[in-house]
Amino acid sequence: MNRQFLSTTALLLFGSLAFADGGVAGAPVEYVTGVRLEGDVDSWLALAIVLTSIVTAWAINYGAPKVRVFGTVLAALGCCMVFLFCCKFRFS
């Protein structure tokens, strides 16, 4: 891995941390935190989405044709899930 790739990745991954809780510091006393699912299921789902995205990107760029087909199928399933998610909240 070259140095420019690592610095760009670090900038993209950690650059938004400076603005993460900027609005919370001056929040009034009655500030209510967001609703979380029991057992932090929402965090585990987010982690699964990120890991699946990484595996999809790896599989699409892999050399063996069967692995690339698997990556394409994962990408298609991801697109379908986003579409169904949008339809659920758009038309409900």
Residue 41 belongs to some domain of the structure: yes
Q: Which domain holds residue 62?
A: 37-92
Residue 60 belongs to some domain of the structure: yes
What is the chain's alpha carbon radius of gyration, rounded to the nearest angstrom? Answer: 19
**Cα–Cα dist 28/57, whole Å:** 43
Q: Rounded to 10 degrees, what is the CA torsion of 34, 83, 64, 7?
A: -40
Q: For the segment 4-63, what is each residue's pLDDT rounded down to a tens digit?
A: 777 777 777 666 666 555 555 555 566 666 677 677 788 888 888 899 999 999 999 999
pLDDT score of 3 more than 70: yes
Residue 78 belongs to some domain of the structure: yes
Better pLDDT: 2 or 24? 2
Residue 2 belongs to some domain of the structure: no
Residue 11 belongs to some domain of the structure: no
pTM over 0.85: no
Within 1-92, where are the H helices? 3-14, 41-60, 65-90
Per-residue pLDDT, 67? 94
- What is the number of domains present in the chain? 1
71, 56 Cβ separation under 8 angstroms: yes
Q: Which two tokens stand for residue 70?
A: 């698997």
Residue 21 belongs to some domain of the structure: no
pLDDT score of 73 more than 60: yes
Residue 13 belongs to some domain of the structure: no
Q: Taking residues 56-75, report their average pLDDT.
A: 94
Residue 65 belongs to some domain of the structure: yes
